[in-house]
Amino acid sequence: RLNTPDPGISENKIIWMSKIFYLICLLFNSGRNATQINYSLLEESKTGVIVGNIAKDLGIDPALLENRNLRIVAGTKQELFRVNHEDGALFVNQRIDREEQCAKTNPCLIHLKAVIENPLEMHQISVDIIDVNDNPPSFLDENHKLEILESAMTGARFQLETAHDPDIGSNDLQSYKLSQNLYFRLETEDMGDEGKIPVLILQKPLDREKIARHNLILTATDGGKPQKSTTVNITIVVSDINDNAPVCDKQKYTVTVKENAPEGTFLLRVNASDSDEGPNGEIEYSLRNKFRNGASEVFDLDSLTGELKIKGGLNFEERQVYELKILAADKGTVSLSTQCNVLVNVEDVNDNRPEIDVTSVSSHISEDAPPGTVVALMGVTDLDSGMNGKMVFSLPKDIPFDLKPSPDGNFYSLVTKEYIDKESKSSYDITITAKDLGTPSLTSTRSIHVDVTDVNDNSPTFAQSPYTFYVAENNKPGIAVFSLSAVDIDEGENARVSYSIDRMNSDQSMTSFLSINEANGAIYALKSFDFETVKTFQFYALATDSGTPSLSSNVTVNLICVFFYGFSIMLCKICPVYLPSLCDIYA
């Protein structure tokens, strides 16, 4: 922020103006010289750990940091990082949990903005949070019960409950291991984003009369160093025959819904059939992947009809696709089940207004600032996608300002588009409007107040030019015979006018008869005029302002000496308007 110096200190005016002009020129270049800095950091690093040195990476002398006001702008993120204002080091300010910040997203990037002043610049910083193996795999329950008909064929496959590991990469879940037994072996199916699913395969016929229950232990292990693992107890209950499992009428169900769909909106009906009769043919539906994607908080499934409805919480900006696993199970003594796959696509609606984040602003700008001078820097975002996330920006008409986007379009610079005249307008309230292209469109506004500081760009102006005055001979010395007047439309010291006689360009033999009050322009006769000696003469007067550098104007003054006292009084009575100085003397 620029501070206007004391109007009384005219000797510092040139230095002060030079500093302002230098700062404005550097601000103009800040938008074009933005730098992208990339750092990486292990999650759970201790508070105070240094991530990197911003000043060093930007090539800034540490000795200059105190005057450049280096700071970090984190936007909506918590203040995870801070910067050391003495050496420019970026350090950890609080505990950083990668899983809390980014869940499964990789890489986990935290974006910051580094703002420095003198000159004003803004640079982009990305910190990649590296995963450490701080979470073991976990199962939804400690015990899992599985009922299998004794008529199950060798090679039959039974999907088990999956384990979940919030870590990523090699630290994520890598393998399952089944305790040693004679009847079952284990295979693992890699489902991509859905993770690794353990599948139990029957390798020896079951006989309920010999062994009615099998107790197994399933171990889930990640790939970290050291490895972490967890176990779940699996109880296999061998039951009598219900020999037909339900069958879904579609291999996959697909539906699209707008993100603002109200609670209770019907999506589709899952339908499975079972050729058995009685309880063995009655089907109940349930959501299987509640643990992994929170589907039970978003969707409601009727267990009897298979109708899937919106429960609440759809948000396109958070998630665009839900892959649901719906279990269709019969009510036989030994329930048989099948899995119906449902794909729900969430469609974006224009429910987010553009956001304007003003990161830096100069509230004062000199009227001689060149076009293109940066007044403010701002970031712009819209969480919507497609046309709903595209934005256009506008400023009020007939103002000398414009918006310039950065090359990456992530922020804008408010700049002057022409020279600004303080005498025409001394301040501006600039309203910036951001409007997205959605239907209907949403808008946001931000207002910035800018004061225009004065420079000495106007010379004093005399009230008339030339001046003509009449003075009677034998006037009394030392009294004011007439007065000049000039005004300067600048302000402060730039508008304070002083008067003088231009003796260099006037007849010095005549101007020696006169003196002028430099404060109010009153001209005094130092001697009596003699009509027989001088009837008329001309001289030049100057009006000079107090700006740095000062500006001046001159005016021609014609002086006419009137010779007869009685005639002078008569003239005053006849035409006092035209002979004011003469009439004042003989009034």
Nearest of 415, 406, 345 to residue 379 by alpha carbon: 406
- pLDDT confidence of 10, banded at 50, 70, 90? low
Residue 32 or 393, more confident: 393
- pLDDT confidence of 577, banded at 50, 70, 90? very low
Most confident of 507-511, 564-568, 573-577: 507-511
Unique residue bearing structure tokens 């299987």: 288
- Pairwise CA distance, residues 414 & 395, whole Å: 10
Share of the chain above pLDDT 90, in %: 28
Cis peptide leading into 226, omega within 30 of 0?
A: yes
pLDDT of 14 reads: 56
Asked if residue 4 has pLDDT above 50, the reply is no
> 519-537, pLDDT tens digit by residue?
999 999 888 877 777 788 8
User: Which of helix, strand or coil describes residue 12?
Assistant: helix
- pLDDT confidence of 292, banded at 50, 70, 90? low
Sign of torsion, CA 371 374 376 378?
Answer: positive
Nearest of 494, 557, 355, 533 to residue 436 by alpha carbon: 355
The token duo for 393 is 């920006």
Degrees to nearest 5, angle at CA 319 with 192 and 410: 110
Asked if residue 75 has pLDDT above 80, the reply is no
pTM exceeds 0.85 for this model:
no
- pLDDT confidence of 410, banded at 50, 70, 90? confident
Unique residue bearing structure tokens 């899992």: 144
Q: Which domains does the chain have, with CATH numbers?
A: 31-130 (2.60.40.60), 143-239 (2.60.40.60), 259-339 (2.60.40.60), 355-453 (2.60.40.60), 461-586 (2.60.40.60)
- Pairwise CA distance, residues 447 & 361, whole Å: 11
- Pairwise CA distance, residues 208 & 341, whole Å: 32
